[in-house]
Amino acid sequence: MSVASTPEGAHLGSPAETPPSPDKGMFGIQGTGDVSGFGGLARPRVTEADTPRPFGGYFDEVYDALEEAYPGFADAIEKVVVDRGELTLHITPQRIAEVCQIMRNDESLRFELCSSVDAVDYLGSDSRRFHISYQLTSMTYRRRVRLEAAVAEGVALPSVTSIYPTADWQEREIYDMFGVVFAGHPNLTRILMPDDWEGHPQRKDYPLGGVPVEYKGAEIPPPDQRRVYQ
């Protein structure tokens, strides 16, 4: 026997019977309603201001020594930022290898060790989106300085591997993760991801998840699509 119409009293008006609203979720939330950050809350980047002199500490000495030792200083330095007790010299990308050479060799600078090279993707807040940071350490003077070079997508910058061979794998990692090309690197190939991987995972426009799992065909949706609070 088939029911022609819904029996009387079947509608209780309970919340469970209310169909999900396409534009409003539970508790009247609009949009993703996400406080965990998976939804990608966009926030404009605060531009770091040029720090006026004196910088304090050994920073003035480093700055003056570099100015004295490097003839192209005025063209190479874009900005000097002192923040949280750290000195950052923003360098024109094409000059980065020359500056590193001076930083390593000059007697009053002597940054013998390149501790780390890595990149940050400032997508949407800087037209030169990739900022490459070089953390230099002077063992002689026990000092640290950060050099920062910003490049736009598709623009190469000189490799520092001939000055600091330790940058070899770190530049490869940046190429792998961000797709930044270092001109003059002896073997710029992927290092952490498989050789045939498409895309550069650490870019801000590369999602977390949503990539088919190799061998199994399984897929995990990106975090902002995993759960919908309706």
Partner 1 sequence: MTSQTTSGAEYATERETTEGRVFTVTGGDWDSITGSIDPLSNEKIVVNMGPQHPSTHGVLRLVLELEGETVTQVRPVVGYLHTGIEKNLEYRNWTQGTTFVTRMDYLAPLFNETGYCLAVEKLLGITDDITERANTIRVLFMELNRISSHLVWIATTGMELGAISMMLYGFREREYILDIFEETTGLRMNHAYIRPGGVAQDVPDSAIRKIRDLLVYLPKKLKEYEAMLSGQVIWQERTQGVAVLDVTGCLSLGITGPVLRSAGLAWDLRKTMPYCGYEDYEFDVPTATTADVWGRYLVRMAEIRESLKLVEQALDKLKPGPVMIADKKIAWPAQLAVGVDGMGNSLEHVAKIMGQSMESLIHHFKLVTEGFRVPAGQVYVGIEHPRGELGVHAVSDGGTHPYRVHYRDPSFVNLQAIPAMAEGALLADVIAGGASLDPVMGGCDR
Site residues (vs partner 1, CB under 8 A): 35-38, 41, 43, 45-46, 48, 83-86, 88, 112-116, 118, 120-121, 133, 135, 137, 139, 142, 144, 146, 164-170, 173, 190-194, 201-202, 208, 223
Q: How far is the CB of 15 from partner 1 (least distance, A)?
A: 23
**8 A C-beta contact, residue 148 and residue 88:** yes
Q: At CA 172, angle to CA 128 and CA 201, rounded to 5?
A: 65
Q: How far is the CB of 114 from partner 1 (least distance, A)?
A: 6
Q: How far is the CB of 164 from partner 1 (least distance, A)?
A: 7
What is the number of alpha carbons within 13 Å of residue 92 lying toward its C-beta? 9
Q: How far is the CB of 60 from partner 1 (least distance, A)?
A: 20
Closer CB to partner 1, 33 or 69, in the complex: 33
Closer CB to partner 1, 49 or 74, in the complex: 49
| C-alpha torsion sign, points 165, 169, 173, 175 | positive
Closer CB to partner 1, 87 or 157, in the complex: 87
Closer CB to partner 1, 95 or 172, in the complex: 172
- Strand 130-138 to 113-121 pairing: antiparallel
Closer CB to partner 1, 19 or 115, in the complex: 115
Cis peptide before 223 (omega within 30 of 0): no
Closer CB to partner 1, 41 or 152, in the complex: 41
H or E element: which one contains 73? helix 73-76
In residues, how long is the chain?
Answer: 230
Residue type, 116: S
Q: How far is the CB of 106 from partner 1 (least distance, A)?
A: 16
H or E element: which one contains 169? helix 167-178
> What token pair was written down for 213?
């799992």
Q: How far is the CB of 11 from partner 1 (least distance, A)?
A: 36
What is the number of alpha carbons within 13 Å of residue 40 lying toward its C-beta? 11
